[in-house]
Structure 1
Amino acid sequence: MISKDHQKGVGLIEVLVALVVLAIGVLGYVMLQMRALEATAESAQRVQAMNIARDLAERIRVNRDGWTFGTTPTSYLTEMSNASKQINNEDSKDCSIEFCSGAELADYDVDEIVTFAQNLGMSMNLMQCPKQSTSSTTNGRYCVYVAWGNTSATNDAGTTDCTNGASYNIKSTCVIMELYQ
C-alpha cells in the first residue's frame, strides 16, 4: 500500500492570507470614507464663505453712499481694516431700527458680517484686487477675502496667506469674490 502524507495547515494559511487581503480592502474603504467626509466638510466651508462674501457684496451694492461710483469704497474699506474691532461692536448704531448715514450703515454691515464670520471660525478682508497689468494704476476691482482654518484673509507671500499676488497659495482654505464698481 502506498501511504499518502497529507499536508496539514494549508487551509489555515489560506484563511490568514484571505483575512490580510480583506483587512487591506477594509482599510482602503475606510480611507475613502474619511476623504469623502473631509471633502464634504471643505465644501460646506466654501459654501458658507461664498454666502458671507455675497452678503457683504450685496450690502455694499445697496449702500451707494458707502461706495460711490468712480471712487473707492472708503467706508467699507475703513470698517474692514478695523474688522477685529468690529466683532460685537456695542458702539455701532443699530441700522435695522434706526435711520443711518452711508458710513454708519457700512459700520453696521461690517459689524454684522464680521461677527457672523467670526462665529463660524472665519476671517474676512476687503482690499483692492491685484492688478492684471503693471501699466494700470487702478483696476476698479475690490476683492472680498474669506478664510478659515490656518489661512489668513490676506494677499502676501507667506505660507498662511490666502493668495500670493494673483494665485491661491498651496493648501490655503479661502474664497475670494471680486466686486466691480
Structure 2
Amino acid sequence: MSTRSSQKGVGMMEVLVALVVLAVGVLGYVMLQVRAMEATIEATQRIQAINIARDLAERVRVNREGWLGTNTYLAEFSGTQARANTTPDCAAANCTAAQLADFDVAELSAYAVQYGMTLGMSACPSTNGRQCLFVAWGNTVASSSTSNTNSCVSGNAYRTSSTCVMMEVY
C-alpha cells in the first residue's frame, strides 16, 4: 500500500520529462525552419542566376553581329577587352554591334555583382565549339576547369559543391 509521502516529487519528475520532450520537439522544429530558410535563399540565388544568364543569352541572340561577327561577347568574358568604360549608353543611343556587346556584358556584370555573383564564359563541355555562360556565387568560380576545384564544371559534370548555373549560348 502506498502512502502519500512516497509520491512526493513524482509530479515534478513528470513535468521535467515533459519539458525535455517539448524541448526536443521545439529544437527539431527550429532546425527544420533553419533548413527551410537556407533552401529559400539558395532557390532565390538560383532564380537570380538563371534570370541573369537568360537575359544575356537573349541579348546575344538579338545582337548576332556582336556574337558571330566580332565575337565581342567572348572577348569581354576572356578579359581581352575593357568593359564599357567608354561605351555609350546603348539603351539611350545607337551603338555598333561591338559597343552593344560591351554594354550588355558590363550591365549584366554590374547586376550580377549586386547579388554577389560573377559571370564567365568558356567552351561548353562535350560540344563542338559552343560556348557556355556561367553565373556563380559563393566560393565558386564561373568557369569550366578540370584543375580548379572551385569551378562550376569539371569535365562533363557539375561539381557537387559548386553553386552556379550554366547555360549554353549560341
- Residue number in structure 2 paired with 1:18: 18
Q: What corresponds to 1:61 in structure 2?
A: 61
Residues 1:100 and 2:95 are matched in the alignment: yes
**TM-score computed with the length of structure 1 as normaliser:** 0.85
1:33 equivalent in structure 2: 33
Q: Does 1:163 align with 2:153?
A: yes
Unaligned runs of 5+ in 1: 133-138
TM-score by length of 2: 0.90
Are the counterparts in 1 of residues 151 and 162 from structure 2 also a CA contact under 8 Å? yes
Q: How far apart, CA to CA, are the structure 1 residues paired with 2:25 and 2:81?
A: 48
Query: Does 2:85 correspond to 1:75?
Result: no
How many residues are treated as equivalent by the alignment?
168
- 1:154–1:161: 8 Å Cα contact kept in structure 2? yes
SS at match of 2:66: coil
Distance change in 2, residues 1:94/1:109 (3 Å):
same
Is there any run of 5+ residues in structure 2 with no aligned partner, and where?
none
Residue 84 of structure 1 deviates from its aligned partner by 9.9
1:116 corresponds to which of 111, 120, 124:
111
**What is the CA-CA distance between 1:23 and the residue it aligns to?**
0.2
**Residue 6 of structure 1: how far off its partner (Å):** 2.4
1:172 equivalent in alignment to 2:167: no
Q: Structure 2 CA distance, aligned partners of 1:96 and 1:83?
A: 24
Q: Answer yes or no: is the 8 Å Cα contact 1:83–1:111 preserved in 2.
A: no
Report the identity percentage: 54
What one-letter code is carried by the residue in structure 1 that aligns with 2:7?
A: Q
Amino acid corresponding to residue 169 of structure 1 in structure 2: R
Distance in structure 2 (CA, Å) of the matches to 1:42 and 1:106: 30
Identify the structure with the greater helix proportion: 2
- Asked if the contact 1:147–1:174 (Cα under 8 Å) also holds between the matched residues in 2, the reply is yes
- Paired amino acid for 1:144: L
Question: Are residues 166 and 13 of structure 1, via their aligned partners in 2, closer, same or farther at CA, if it must alter by over 3 Å?
Answer: same
**Segments ≥4 residues shifted beyond 6 Å:** none
